[in-house]
Amino acid sequence: MLSSSFGLPQGATLTAEEVCAGIRLHGKLAVITGASTGLGKETARALALAGAHVFLGGRDEQALMTAKRDISTFSLSTEISVHRLDLMSASSVCAFTKAVESLGRPVDILICNAGIMACPLWRSETGIEAQFMTNYVGHALLTSRLCPLLRSAGRARFVSLSSCAHHLASVDLADLSYRHRAYDRWSAYGQSKTAAALLAVQVYRKLGQDGVTALTVHPGMSKTELGRFLLEEEKAAMAQLTCSVGSTSLWKSAAAGAATSVWAATAAEFEGVGPAYLEDCAVAPLITQPNFQYGVMPYALDETLAQDLWHATEQLLGTTLPL
């Protein structure tokens, strides 16, 4: 694992645009999920300003078109593609990947940004719990379908968004969809974010030898649509959160929340490196006890667990996911 001292100065306050200032991504294709609003939109905007052709995926087609218009006002010369993507549906994921493939070019950057948090229990069309399906399984399927384009890029970047919520739970390989245990929406969210971290571990394990750098990002707490399922008392409690020392708020703007994703996608220091868990534009320290603020638990970087999870996911989907 990389040293936790490896990072940018004042990384917690940097914005996505500041992180990639001076970086040229002309001729590069960046695919971003959940890109119609929030962190995904800010990530796409920063990469577009750097010259990348950005391909935006999201569930709401109208919001995607609005994002395309907004981003184009900042970067008139950048190519912007959009296509509907519902990670709860395998057929939607496959249609999205076909749209990416139709460009006939490598994928230089793939950022699995989309996610849902602490929602009531519901399931995908194949019976998979919604947070696990959206935050991990849909992205695993997407990555499998796009892996030939990542390989062909030569020096591709893969970025998976997790969070400190992975401190809540590892993955229960025997009951990933809460068929045999009581559903707890926060435990389910924690499991899905651990799985998101393990996705980057698995991608690097399989594609690292082909030049693919795979990294996990904790973006920090940002006020986005991710909190739409929170109860009012939960929103109030989270609004009062402060750092463990001093009175500095833990909350970031969307532009600051997207900074670590953009750093992971563009920093030259990461070429050929992985897997690593990043936060505040730095490599996070390894911790052994949850604190729900910073650091990465060992199980989120466990290669054996990542491989076992991949096989369990194939069983859930009833299909192989080649990388």
In a domain? residue 34: yes
In a domain? residue 5: no
Would you say 113 and 56 are in contact if contact means Cβ atoms under 8 Å apart? no
Q: How many domains does the chain have?
A: 1
pLDDT digits (tens, 9 = 90+) for 122-180: 999 999 999 999 999 999 999 999 999 999 999 999 999 999 999 999 999 999 999 99
The two tokens of residue 144 are 């499998």
> Residue 116: how many CB atoms within 10 A of its CB?
19
**DSSP assignment of 99-122:** HHHTT-S--SEEEE-----SPPS-
Question: In a 10 Å sphere around its CB, with 0-12 CB exposed, 13-18 middle and 19+ buried, how is residue 184 labelled?
Answer: middle
In a domain? residue 6: no
- The whole-number pLDDT of residue 303 equals 98
Q: The domain containing residue 141 runs over which residues? A: 16-317
Q: What is the pTM of this model?
A: 0.92
In a domain? residue 132: yes
Asked about 299 being catalytic, the answer comes back as no
How far, CA to CA in Å, does 216 sit from each of 31, 40, 73, 190, 193? 16, 15, 30, 15, 10
Give the active site residue among 178, 183, 204, 277.
183
In a domain? residue 3: no
In a domain? residue 2: no
In a domain? residue 11: no
- The whole-number pLDDT of residue 252 equals 87
CATH number of the structural domain spanning residue 208 = 3.40.50.720
At residue 251 the predicted structure's pLDDT band, cuts being 50, 70 and 90, is confident
In a domain? residue 115: yes
The two tokens of residue 99 are 């749209």
pLDDT digits (tens, 9 = 90+) for 59-91: 999 999 999 999 999 876 689 999 999 999 999
